[in-house]
Amino acid sequence: MADLGMPLLVFNLGGEMSYILEQRLQAQAIDSEKNRKVLQDIIGAMLNQSFLDELFKPQPLSSTTSARSLFDRLAHSSIMRLSESSMDKLFDLMTMGFKYQILCSKAPAELVDITLNHLESMLAMVAPGPVAARVEYAIQRVQAVYGQMPFGQMNLVRQALLLFLQDKRVKVSLFLQDGLQTQNGVMVLPTGGVLAPGVERPRLVWYFDRSGSVIATKEFPAPAAYEARTASTPRTKLGLNLD
């Protein structure tokens, strides 16, 4: 099922692109209506019906070069124009943002929540109408395809996405300021927080004999505060706008 990674790659990178462009347009004091029109054109092109249908067909992940080319075309589907250098920086920010999120995810299934956070944020950026309907359709497809996907298959999708992102090590000023990245580009991952489903809080070392029976346990202080996941645990905030 690693051949079902393309929708997650496009939706998550597309969500990151939407955040960055929205912030840039606001920083340039672009009129709010023009701001919305630019984002609506880009999101509408990204979630075009025929493109979505192709996206959900089983296929290997595209190369970094192909993905960069795809988002170049999407970014220029509106009246906005970016130089080659600006597009390179935009793509680096998109990929590093998603890389941090996927590395922080506690379980493969959390990729679904990260993707839904991106899509629902894009839904809030567009006006009610045809484009909003496309976003809602994409949300439904993600829930239908990945919502009940078995752990092993979802893990293959996660591994494929990590392989796509593994060589990206661009320093991001926001990450550096918040201590989320070292000066050589390595991500600093948080400890503690909500555990993956079925995982107990780290606090015991178990000792077994040769037959596999527990002969002793030893408690140790946990390095951070951990919380068990329950049915009422809120969805992860990964995938939401960092700013």
Distance CA 11, CA 46 (A): 8
Residue type, 75: A
Mean pLDDT of 10-20: 95
- How does pLDDT run across 32-50, given as a tens digit for each residue? 778 888 889 999 999 998 9
Task: Tell me what the mean pLDDT of segment 45-64 comes to.
Answer: 92
Q: Is the pLDDT of residue 198 over 90?
A: no
What amino acid is encoded at 178 in this protein?
A: D
- Alpha-carbon distance 217 to 206, whole Å? 5
Model pTM score? 0.88
Q: Write the DSSP string, 4-17.
A: G-HHHHHHHHHHHH
Residue 1 has pLDDT above 60, yes or no: no
